[in-house]
């Protein structure tokens, strides 16, 4: 099949798209990209709900990108038939353009996040009101434009409208090859437990609880933690953890350098939030940390337990003391640490490679489309 990867997605900011594209290519599919990244990330798009007068900026930026996408789509058509169109992550608007340009071609939408759910999780829109209704309308129109909808967990599939669920495929986020290539099979024997967190400090990450846990560990120099990223709850987390001298704060690490950086640690932290969204996701960092051969420590939620099995160390969401205790246990027991490192990597090899991630998608698009 000849696939057209289409939209304003950004593989540097959102590696999920790169996993899908790599998986298709490694599965023997031909992939042509028509991509013009929108210079606005998830946080920037959602922030416009607080500052609606900035919406014309989004429309202007989107219009510029779309003009180039239309030109690229026409060129792709002239060079051969397109069998399927994949609209990348954050493609709520792009999918409608794809539907207009490719009326008779199957359209696949990677619906990793809903607009309404993300805004609610970040405290930018309540359960009712005009903003929430607008975002639900945007989600609904996007879903209605796609023939196949990708979601990352069964919980997200269940949250889709009933008429969309038959067209949906659960596709784990996974990790790209560079993460797997960083795995070190030999046991590490440093005196310190090296722990890393990478994220945008959104509410689902639960970094308030992480900050409290770090404060509890202030008296344990064996546990050294690197906190990478900035975002909504960064200042609060840093203030809560201020008593701990063994924490290093890094604004960001370049995408191409991140796999080696994370793999240089023993433990990769996942999420610890208590929001509704936090109960339904498996974050990218969990897949990446497992692929790189870190022990994964994250919250005990149904989707994470289902994806990781017994290979991760789980703690209750929102429980700072349990998180601190889990890190102390890993620092005390090097054999336990190495067992979790090895098992996490093996789990990733079995389930989270790019080829494995797209297997369900390929099965679906090769079948007759379900009635709509």
| CATH number of the domain encompassing residue 18 | 3.40.50.2000
- pLDDT at position 237, please? 98
What is the number of structural domains in the chain? 2
Residue at 21 is within a domain: yes
Residues in the chain, pLDDT under 50 = none
pTM as predicted:
0.90
- pLDDT at position 124, please? 58
Q: In terms of domains, do 200 and 67 share one?
A: no
Burial of 189 (0-12, 13-18, 19+ CB in 10 A): exposed
- pLDDT at position 59, please? 82
How big is the CA angle at 152 (ends 327 and 249), to the nearest 5 degrees? 35
- CA-closest candidate to residue 305, choices 279, 342, 273: 279
77: part of which helix (H) or strand (E)?
Answer: helix 55-78
Q: In terms of domains, do 182 and 315 share one?
A: yes
Q: In terms of domains, do 64 and 108 share one?
A: yes
Whole domain around residue 283: which residue ranges?
A: 177-352
Q: In terms of domains, do 201 and 316 share one?
A: yes
Cα 187 to Cα 322: distance, rounded to the nearest angstrom: 26
- pLDDT at position 122, please? 61
Residue at 133 is within a domain: yes
Q: In terms of domains, do 163 and 183 share one?
A: no
- CA-closest candidate to residue 16, choices 111, 82, 84: 111
Residue at 371 is within a domain: no
Cα 247 to Cα 118: distance, rounded to the nearest angstrom: 29
Cα 76 to Cα 126: distance, rounded to the nearest angstrom: 42
The answer to whether 300 touches 278, Cβ cutoff 8 Å, is: no
Chain segment 6-15, per-residue pLDDT in tens: 999 999 888 9
Cα 170 to Cα 149: distance, rounded to the nearest angstrom: 9
* Residue-wise burial string across 123-149, b where 16 or more C-beta atoms lie within 10 A, e elsewhere: ebbeeeeebbebbbebbeebbbbbbbb
Q: In terms of domains, do 226 and 90 share one?
A: no
* Residue-wise burial string across 293-324, b where 16 or more C-beta atoms lie within 10 A, e elsewhere: bbbbbbbebebbeebbeebbbbbebbbbebbb
């Amino acid at each position: 099949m000849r696939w057209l990867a289409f939209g304003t997605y950004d593989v540097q900011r959102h590696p999920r798209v790169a996993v899908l594209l790599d998986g298709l290519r490694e599965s023997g599919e031909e992939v042509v990209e028509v991509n013009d990244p929108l210079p606005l990330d998830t946080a920037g798009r959602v922030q416009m709900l607080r500052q609606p007068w900035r919406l014309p900026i989004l429309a202007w930026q989107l219009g510029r990108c779309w003009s180039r996408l239309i030109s690229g789509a026409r060129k792709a058509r002239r060079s051969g038939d397109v069998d399927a169109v994949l609209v990348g992550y954050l493609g709520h608007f792009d999918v409608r353009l794809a539907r207009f340009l490719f009326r008779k071609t199957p359209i696949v939408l990677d619906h990793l996040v809903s607009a309404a759910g993300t805004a609610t999780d970040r405290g930018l829109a309540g359960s009712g009101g005009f903003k929430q209704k607008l975002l639900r309308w945007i989600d609904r129109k996007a879903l209605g434009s796609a023939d196949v909808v990708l979601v990352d967990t069964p919980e997200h599939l269940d949250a889709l409208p009933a008429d969309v669920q038959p067209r949906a495929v659960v596709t784990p986020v996974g990790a790209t090859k560079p993460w797997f290539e960083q795995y070190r099979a030999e046991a590490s024997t440093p005196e310190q437990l090296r722990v890393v967190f990478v994220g945008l400090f959104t509410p689902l990450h639960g970094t308030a609880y992480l900050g409290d846990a770090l404060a509890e560990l202030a008296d344990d120099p064996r546990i050294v933690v690197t906190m990478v990223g900035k975002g909504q709850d960064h200042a609060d987390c840093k203030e809560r953890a201020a008593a701990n001298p063994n924490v290093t704060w890094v604004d960001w690490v370049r995408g191409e350098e991140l796999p080696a950086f994370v793999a240089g640690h023993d433990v990769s932290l996942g999420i610890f939030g208590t929001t509704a969204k936090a109960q339904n996701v498996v974050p990218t960092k969990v897949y990446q940390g497992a692929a790189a051969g870190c022990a994964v420590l994250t919250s005990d939620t149904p989707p994470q337990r289902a994806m990781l099995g017994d290979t991760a160390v789980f703690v209750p969401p929102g429980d700072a003391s349990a998180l601190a205790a889990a890190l102390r246990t890993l620092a005390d027991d090097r054999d336990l640490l190495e067992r979790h490192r090895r098992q996490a990597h093996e789990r990733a090899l079995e389930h989270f490679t790019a080829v494995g991630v797209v297997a369900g998608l390929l099965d679906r698009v090769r079948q007759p489309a379900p009635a709509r």
